A and B are shown apart, each in its own frame.
Chain A
Amino acid sequence: MSPDQEKREETPVARVSSGDRGLDTILHGGWLQGGLYLVLGAPGAGKTILGNQFCFHHVEQGGRAIYVTVLAESHGRMLTHLRPLGFFRQEVIGPKLSYVSGYATLRAKGVQGLLQLLTAEVRERQASALVIDGLSAVEDSAGSRLALREFLHGLSVHNAMAGCTTLLLTNHQAESSDPEYAMVDGIIRLSAELIGLKAIRGLEVTKSRGSAQLAGKHTFDITSEGVRAYPRTEALYAGRSKVVPKLDERLSFGLEGLDQMLGGGLVRYSSTLILGSPGAGKTTLGLNFLAAGAKKGEPGMYFGFAETPERLAQKCVALGLDLSSLIEKRQLFLESRVPVETLPDALVQELLAQIEREHIQRLFLDGLEPFAKEAIDPERTSRFVTALTNALRDRGVTALFTQQTNTLVGPELYAPLRGVEAIVDNIVLLRYLELRGELRRMFSILKMRESAHDLRLREFVITPHGVDVGDMFDNADSLLTGEARATTPEAGKAKSKRRAGRGKPR
């Protein structure tokens, strides 16, 4: 046996990029080189874009590709539709990427004639990527399941030898008993479903020979760059984090009273949920955490949905917190997204990419809801948040999340995302309470994993000069209900000075 043969025996099967990083991740590295794949989906599901994106990307990487249509869209119309997409390159069409119609041959010579045409074209053009758009016409023409099976087997064997990765695009929803199901190396189903009024595109790899795939359904989108698949966050980061929170390292908020309550600050690499009613001061508190870190050289990022970075920075100035120099020094990043029609897994990919790029150590994710609630099954929430916290911890991030309670005041505290409380390491509560006819803010630590903390309920004070926790609410009880009850006539009067300069509830 030659040394080359010895070497080949030890080499795993090569993979070919699909043209989309997310799909490559789902496929554990891409299509198998020389593999045969079935891409299923109703008209408009994105099959043609996916197939063309693969071809253009393949050519970009130095390969040659053939796109064969069989009773599908005309080449002219197809190219017109593809031109605006980011992957389209007019100059490669012809020399490296050929568009071929297979229907005339299919009609004249049947499936075996088409097979001969395809295999000859692959060899002639030295193609390493082939897309057949319109397999359902081949199925109809085959006449029998055996004939279709022979066609697919012949194509599979030939193209495996030729190292030509092949995608078969079809509207037909193959069942596991169908010939094409058994003959191919992998099956990808594209779908679209309505969740409320929103249409969510889904992608599922239901068969993948040669390796495991990221099982289950993933979301995808068709953007100006083409198909963008977003692997399910909990499938990607299912494993327990390798990073352990450092109990002896505390990350300060730069707020003396609050840091004292936390035993010096939050444990490094921990995750904390700030639970609170609208305007209770969650954002202000989180931005103080980021600013305190940034001043010490720990890059921080705000990632939120409610306000633009400019408006946020302005509001901070009004609260005695000037972030501009930290932003200029790239120690602090303010990122805002519009919280409509969001794909949570896409947001996570974007967030993690930015964290890695900017070496973020402190993250303030202001609003878990668009991540964990929008467009996904409510059953996913706890697994999704677990995976997100794992991924953040593995990247050396200490994270603060906020979740809004639905009630402004009142005895009930209803948080829309259930189960998050059990996942995070720490929970602090910020809420309004009514005491002697006045609204006050209250801060309390409900949970601090593996760490001693102050169990007292303290007033949270926001002034034009900054924020911090104040005194305890002496002589009052039932504070956690939001409807505090003065236990002496003097209750609440002791804080009148502090409250005098307080700004409006935010």
Chain B
Amino acid sequence: MKRILVVDDESAIVDALQDILSSEGYEVDTAINGAEGLERLRAKRPDLVLLDLMMPVLDGLGMLERMRAELGPRGLPVVLMSAGRPPPEVKSSVDHFLEKPFHLDSLIDAVTKLLDGAEA
């Protein structure tokens, strides 16, 4: 079973993503900020990270930098999520960008494409 790490400080989003992705057959782990996300990632490496950009303690960019430093530039597929509009270099540094609020289908398409190589 493919494993997804969801990192977002909004608990309702974390709950919803966990619910949705579990029902799609994925194993889901969650964290509420970048620092906690790194801990989870080190404890059990996921196949994909769903990462919010703006979070307390350690934000998405901070987690991304440290993750890349530890695992290499393309060590793990990352889907970045944000209600804001990050600069193009940030968007292009990840595998997919989801602007909040996003549709369920966009999420499933992105995850399926990255994990299973299926066409979105």
CB distance from B21 to the nearest CB of A (A): 11
Given contacts A157-B12, A157-B16, are A123 and B99 in contact (CB under 8 A)?
A: no
* CA of A150 to CA of B103, assembled, Å: 21
Q: With a CB–CB cut-off of 8 A, which chain A residues contact B19?
A: 116, 119-120, 158
CB distance from B95 to the nearest CB of A (A): 11
B85 at the interface (CB under 8 A from A): yes
CB distance from A62 to the nearest CB of B (A): 16
- Chain A, 150-167, CB within 8 A of any chain B CB: 150, 153-154, 156-158, 160-163
* CA of A158 to CA of B97, assembled, Å: 19
A34 at the interface (CB under 8 A from B): yes
* CA of A245 to CA of B13, assembled, Å: 57
A328 at the interface (CB under 8 A from B): no
Determine if B99 and A5 form an interchain contact, defined as CB atoms under 8 angstroms apart: yes
* CA of A9 to CA of B13, assembled, Å: 21
Determine if A123 and B104 form an interchain contact, defined as CB atoms under 8 angstroms apart: yes
Q: With a CB–CB cut-off of 8 A, which chain B residues contact A163?
A: 103-105
* CA of A116 to CA of B16, assembled, Å: 9
CB distance from A193 to the nearest CB of B (A): 38
What per-residue 1/0 map shows which CB atoms of B99-112 lie under 8 Å from chain A? 10111110100000
* CA of A163 to CA of B97, assembled, Å: 18
Task: Across the interface, name the chain B residue whose C-beta is closest to A122.
Answer: B104
B55 at the interface (CB under 8 A from A): no
Number of interface residues of B (CB under 8 A): 20
B91 at the interface (CB under 8 A from A): yes
Question: What DSSP secondary structure best describes chain A's contact surface?
Answer: helix
Determine if B23 and A161 form an interchain contact, defined as CB atoms under 8 angstroms apart: no
Given contacts A9-B85, A161-B104, are A123 and B15 in contact (CB under 8 A)?
A: no
CB distance from B40 to the nearest CB of A (A): 21
* CA of A277 to CA of B39, assembled, Å: 88
Determine if B101 and A34 form an interchain contact, defined as CB atoms under 8 angstroms apart: yes
Determine if A153 and B12 form an interchain contact, defined as CB atoms under 8 angstroms apart: yes
* CA of A161 to CA of B14, assembled, Å: 12
Determine if A158 and B16 form an interchain contact, defined as CB atoms under 8 angstroms apart: yes
Q: With a CB–CB cut-off of 8 A, which chain B residues contact A146?
A: none
Q: With a CB–CB cut-off of 8 A, which chain B residues contact A150?
A: 12
Choose among B88, B91, B92, B101 the residue that contacts A161 (Cβ–Cβ < 8 A).
B101
- CB-CB nearest 6 A-B residue pairs: A157-B12, A158-B16, A153-B12, A160-B101, A162-B104, A161-B104
Instruction: List chain B positions with a Cβ less than 8 A from chain A.
Output: 10, 12-13, 15-16, 19-20, 23, 85, 88, 91-92, 97, 99, 101-105, 107
For the A-B complex with A1-B88, A8-B99 known, give 11 more contacts whose Cβ atoms are closer than 8 Å.
Answer: A1-B91, A116-B19, A119-B19, A120-B23, A123-B23, A153-B12, A157-B15, A158-B16, A161-B107, A162-B103, A162-B104
Instruction: List chain A positions with a Cβ less than 8 A from chain B.
Output: 1, 5, 8-9, 34, 116, 119-120, 123, 150, 153-154, 156-158, 160-163
